[in-house]
Amino acid sequence: MMLYSIDTPPRYVSGPLHIGHATSYSQIDFVARYKRMRGFDVFFPLCVDVNGLPIEVEVEKRYGVNPKEVGRKKFNELCREFAEQNIQRVRDQYNRLSISMDDSIYYRTDSPEYRKITQLTFIDLFERDLVYRDKRPVNWCPRCATSLADAEVEYRLRKSGFNHIIFKMDDSEVIVATTRPELIPACKLLAYHPGDDRYEGLEGKTAVTPIGDRVKIVEDEAVDPDFGSGMVMICTIGDKEDLRWVHKYKLEIDRAIDEEGKMTPLCGKYEGMAVEKARRAIVEDLEEECLIVKKEKIDQNVAVCWRCHTPIEYLVTDQWFLKTMAFKDEVDGIADEMRFYPDFMRTRLKDWTSSLEWDWPISRMRYYATPIPIWYCEDCSSVVVAKREQCYVDPTLDPPPVDKCPRCGGPLKGSDEVFDTWMDSSITPLVNRENGSNYPMSLRPQSHDIIRTWLYYTALRCYLSTGQKPFDSVMISGFILAPDGRPMHASWGNAIDPIEIVEKYGSDCLRYFAANCALGMDTPFRWNDVKRGAKFQRKLRNVVKFVTIAQDKSQNGDRDLRPADRWILTALSKVMEKATSYMDEMDFQHAIREVEDFVWHIFADDYIEMAKYRIYRGDGEDRRETESAVYTLARIGKDVVKMLHPFLPSITEELYYQLDPEGSIISWPEPELRDEKSYDGGEKARSLISGLRALKSSMALPLSSELSSVTIYAGGELADFYDEIKETLHIRDLHFTDAPPPEGAERVGEFSVLLNDR
């Protein structure tokens, strides 16, 4: 049996289940159930993510603690306690959604076994010189007190104060417009665009900042002359553009803001103030000195921490880095090797990879995560890495592999740094390989918002460990929005609890909605889809009820399929082929629609009506035809239930048992026959029957009323369906003729029809 492996996204246990989780995990489950039915041994692990900032932030909120005050040991105990309380809740939610993860393959990202693999991969990178420690500018979250990778930085639009400030010169002045006046103490240069005639001739001259520092004025193509005053101040460091200028002009970095987001001694009277407070204070002082000529509000995309949404700063700190810039081409090549569903999502990974400008800072100044297995010499700062056999190891608690520094003999102190949570999350294929998965894995399912993090880092890390791609295919889900198209937020009152949907309608109705969400696309939540799912299930129950009634009439005798049976079985084969193709392409939306339309509009509306006369007629009549109808009804009933099973597992298991108590729903159905002649005839017959039923309705005749005589012109090709037409429409005398239709005949589809008793 071939293995099909799914790299299950380990869900954070720190937050509530939202409708996006319910939808995306349902879509993953569609794949798992379908592949099992296709004969694969499906590797679908149950896993949870309990590492890093998401857990820490929730623990700080719930217990009202500051990790610096309670200490590392106590804080980590609270994190573990929080995780234990929430893991079972997550497992229960998966069960309520009918997600068929294999709990015999279980992992959690904070287990010693998992963290051991993270540490071992780091040691391998260390020995291959692919990680290094350096003092350089990084994204820094003052609230979380840690560095952040570019992928952990989000951008939020906000109104910012835009202050036009006077910088004096020897014989004139220039106006500098800035949203960061608190960084004036760290101003290193002023710059304008070389094509800006307002500042012609100022290159090489100097200006005096409002606090008395003299700075040089330069021309620079990167300055936008149409923004603000066209004269910018280059500080250390206000944003990424500043950082580029720092490197370009080799500027010395003065630190105006510290790790806690407070002003440093460089800022004089503003020392110790939080950034926002210092900004207000310096603006007030500048106004008093008449150095602000204009104040306005502008829309600004502000870089914020992905977890707590605090505006980030750019600080120079000692960090561990993983070399990523050297492997951009390799990750780009891996993107081309993997198949994406939908295909256009490949571009997102490639675009992100090409946009990267710096190596990945992998160290964090946090607590509940995998410790970096490093000790530092207290005398010479040399680094000692753990031995492989030591892992899993915590350098804050465990002894180093050697008694003293190999370089100078000094004492060693364990590092209190931990890994970025993506260092853990990006090795899931390697962890799964240890648990019995194949490699590369068959499928990585995930949402589009973490392509730049989980997918990129996994592609990079697994390539560095194995030299191969991590997956054959990647399935990308979209977000679920509020019904009005806005994002869901509890504070806006538009969040939808999936468990409430399950309690009211059942999990299959929620999964029906998920099946109708296109991969990779953000979809407004649609209550109508949930209700339609409930309506479709009622229809399915009624169909199966009729089939079981028919089965009760069977004597298990010989059968002789009529053309109508061969027509519907051919139609079923066509639906199977389409549904199978759609499922192979993970096009759930079209797969379920194909089966649903067949059940509703062909099987129930047409064939069952055609077959009823054979089911309800007396025992003395042709048993072979009755047995054929029973066989056909049962075959179709079981096969459509099977095709719906990946989407609607609860009701389909129940209904399949009613149809075949001794059978199994675990295999995907295969086409039985193809009879194109019967199919063409059946399509014409059902079109004619449908048209004549509509005609009876237009004449205000009950559908069950008898028609004494009907003549169908040019209807000889329907001769094989004579009984179905006659019995379904309750016609006493039915005639087919090739004669031209008389005046007064009704046009029904491609046939002319005369109701002789009209």
> CB-based burial of residue 182 (10 Å sphere; 0-12 exposed, 13-18 middle, 19+ buried)?
buried
Alpha carbon distance 511, 520 (integer Å): 17
**Residues 643, 687 within the same domain:** no
Alpha carbon distance 571, 603 (integer Å): 9
Residue corresponding to tokens 């791609």: 469
Contact (Cβ atoms closer than 8 angstroms) between residue 360 and residue 324: yes
* Domain containing residue 476: CATH number: 3.40.50.620
Establish if 179 belongs to a structural domain: yes
| CA-to-CA separations, 94 to 22, 531, 591, 653, in angstroms, rounded | 8, 22, 23, 18
Contact (Cβ atoms closer than 8 angstroms) between residue 603 and residue 570: no
Query: Which of 382, 402, 386 minimizes the C-alpha distance to 394?
Result: 386
Q: Answer with the one of 645, 674, 703 that is the final residue of a domain.
A: 674
Alpha carbon distance 327, 130 (integer Å): 11
Least confident of 244-258, 456-470, 528-542, 633-647: 244-258
The residue ranking higher by pLDDT, 216 or 756, is: 216
Contact (Cβ atoms closer than 8 angstroms) between residue 197 and residue 184: no
- Whether residue 619 is predicted with pLDDT greater than 90 in this model: the reply is no
Report pLDDT for 491. 67
Chain Cα centroid distance, residue 533: 23
Range among 9-13, 32-36, 554-558 with highest mean pLDDT value: 32-36
- Whether residue 402 is predicted with pLDDT greater than 60 in this model: the reply is yes
Q: Answer with the one of 423, 444, 471 that is the final residue of a domain.
A: 423
**Residues 201, 128 within the same domain:** no
* Domain containing residue 568: CATH number: 1.10.730.10
Report pLDDT for 644. 98
pLDDT averaged over every residue in the chain = 93
The tokens of 657 are what? Answer: 């048992």
**Residues 35, 52 within the same domain:** yes
Establish if 339 belongs to a structural domain: no
Contact (Cβ atoms closer than 8 angstroms) between residue 325 and residue 356: yes
Report pLDDT for 490. 67
What is the arithmetic mean of pLDDT over 447-461? 96
Contact (Cβ atoms closer than 8 angstroms) between residue 727 and residue 748: no
The residue ranking higher by pLDDT, 253 or 758, is: 253
Establish if 18 belongs to a structural domain: yes
**Residues 471, 563 within the same domain:** no
**Residues 160, 299 within the same domain:** yes
Q: How many domains does the chain have?
A: 5
**Residues 154, 293 within the same domain:** yes
- Whether residue 492 is predicted with pLDDT greater than 90 in this model: the reply is no
Report pLDDT for 194. 95
- Whether residue 630 is predicted with pLDDT greater than 70 in this model: the reply is yes
**Residues 580, 648 within the same domain:** yes
- Whether residue 308 is predicted with pLDDT greater than 90 in this model: the reply is no
Alpha carbon distance 107, 53 (integer Å): 19
| CA-to-CA separations, 461 to 274, 386, 453, 466, 559, in angstroms, rounded | 38, 20, 12, 9, 61
Give me the amino acid identity at 535. Answer: K
Report pLDDT for 744. 85
Residue 758's pLDDT band (boundaries 50, 70, 90)? low
> What pTM does this model have?
0.89
The residue ranking higher by pLDDT, 750 or 223, is: 223
**Residues 545, 462 within the same domain:** no
Establish if 527 belongs to a structural domain: no
Contact (Cβ atoms closer than 8 angstroms) between residue 24 and residue 449: no
Establish if 692 belongs to a structural domain: yes
Alpha carbon distance 682, 563 (integer Å): 8
**Residues 634, 704 within the same domain:** no
**Residues 162, 283 within the same domain:** yes
Helices (H) and strands (E) in the chain — how many of each?
22, 30
Q: What is the DSSP string of 74-113?
A: HHHHHHHHHHHHHHHHHHHHHHHTT---EEEEEEETTSHH
What is the arithmetic mean of pLDDT over 580-596? 98
What is the arithmetic mean of pLDDT over 487-510? 89
The residue ranking higher by pLDDT, 674 or 749, is: 674
Residue 618's pLDDT band (boundaries 50, 70, 90)? low
Residue numbers of the domain that contains 271: 150-313
Report pLDDT for 431. 97
